[in-house]
Amino acid sequence: MSLTAITPANRSASKAKVVRGLLEGLLEGKWHGGDRFTESLGADAFGVSRTPVREALLDLQALGLVELRRNCGAIIHPFGEEDLREIYAVRSLLEVEATRLAASQIAAEEVESLIEAFEEIQSSGGTDLNWKFDQKLHLLIAECSGNRRLAAEIARYSTLVQTMREIVGARTHDIHSASADEHLEILRALRQRNPDTAAKAMRDHLRQASDSAIAAMLEIRNH
Amino acid sequence: MSLTAITPANRSASKAKVVRGLLEGLLEGKWHGGDRFTESLGADAFGVSRTPVREALLDLQALGLVELRRNCGAIIHPFGEEDLREIYAVRSLLEVEATRLAASQIAAEEVESLIEAFEEIQSSGGTDLNWKFDQKLHLLIAECSGNRRLAAEIARYSTLVQTMREIVGARTHDIHSASADEHLEILRALRQRNPDTAAKAMRDHLRQASDSAIAAMLEIRNH
DNA sequence: ACTTCCGTTATTGTATACAATCTGATTCGG
DNA sequence: CCGAATCAGATTGTATACAATAACGGAAGT
Domain boundaries, chain B: 5-76, 81-221
pLDDT at B4: 37
Same fold, B5-76 and B81-221: no
User: Considering chain A, what percentage of its residues have pLDDT values greater than 90?
Assistant: 78
Q: Cβ of residue B11 near strand C, that is under 7 Å?
A: yes
List, in order, residues 6 or more apart from B23 with CB less than 8 Å away.
B160, B163, B164, B167
Report, as an integer, the average pLDDT of A89-107: 97
Tens digit of each residue's pLDDT (9 = 90 or more) over A11-63 = 899 999 999 999 999 999 999 878 999 999 999 999 999 999 999 999 999 99
Interchain proximity B148–A62, CB inside 8 Å: no
CA A98 to chain B, closest CA, distance in angstroms equals 10
Span between the terminal Cα atoms of chain A, in Å: 44
Question: Please, which positions of strand D sit below 7 A from a protein CB?
Answer: 9-17, 20-23
pLDDT means per 10 residues, chain B with 223 residues, are: 43 94 96 91 97 98 94 93 98 98 94 89 76 92 96 96 94 74 94 97 97 94 90
* DSSP-derived 3-state class of residue B47: coil
pLDDT of residue A220 exceeding 90:
yes
Beta bridge partners of A36: A75
pLDDT of residue A181 exceeding 60:
yes
Residue B70 is nearest to which of A11, A62, A68, comparing CB atoms? A11
Residue B152 is nearest to which of A11, A62, A150, comparing CB atoms? A62
**Domain A5-76 = CATH 3.10.20.30:** no
Q: Cβ of residue B14 near strand C, that is under 7 Å?
A: yes
Amino acid at A188: R
pLDDT at B50: 98
Q: Is A150 on the interface with B (CB under 8 A)?
A: yes
pLDDT at B2: 37
Burial class (CB in 10 A: 0-12, 13-18, 19+), B35: middle
Report, as an integer, the average pLDDT of A117-142: 85
CA A49 to chain B, closest CA, distance in angstroms equals 14
Amino acid at A164: M
Residues of A in contact with B99 (CB under 8 A): none
CA A90 to chain B, closest CA, distance in angstroms equals 6
- Is-contact B102 B141, C-beta < 8 A? yes
Beta bridge partners of B74: B37, B68
Find the Å distance, CA of residue A40 to C1' of nucleotide C19.
Answer: 22
Q: Is B110 on the interface with A (CB under 8 A)?
A: no
Interchain proximity A153–B90, CB inside 8 Å: yes
- Is-contact B10 B4, C-beta < 8 A? no
pLDDT at B175: 63
Residues of A in contact with B156 (CB under 8 A): 62
b vs e for B60-71, b when ≥16 Cβ sit within 10 Å of the residue's Cβ? bbbbbbbbbeee
Q: Is B71 on the interface with A (CB under 8 A)?
A: no
pLDDT of residue A8 exceeding 60:
no
Residue B5 is nearest to which of A11, A67, A153, comparing CB atoms? A67
Interchain proximity A64–B93, CB inside 8 Å: no
Architecture category of domain B81-221 in CATH: Up-down Bundle (1.20)
pLDDT at A10: 66
Report, as an integer, the average pLDDT of A204-219: 95
Q: Cβ of residue B59 near strand D, that is under 7 Å?
A: no
Q: Cβ of residue B38 near strand D, that is under 7 Å?
A: yes
- Of all nucleotides, the one whose C1′ comes closest to residue B53's CA is C14
Amino acid at B123: S
Q: Cβ of residue B10 near strand D, that is under 7 Å?
A: no
A39-46 vs A13-28: helix crossing angle, rounded to 10: 100
Residue of chain A whose Cα is closest to the Cα of B75: A5
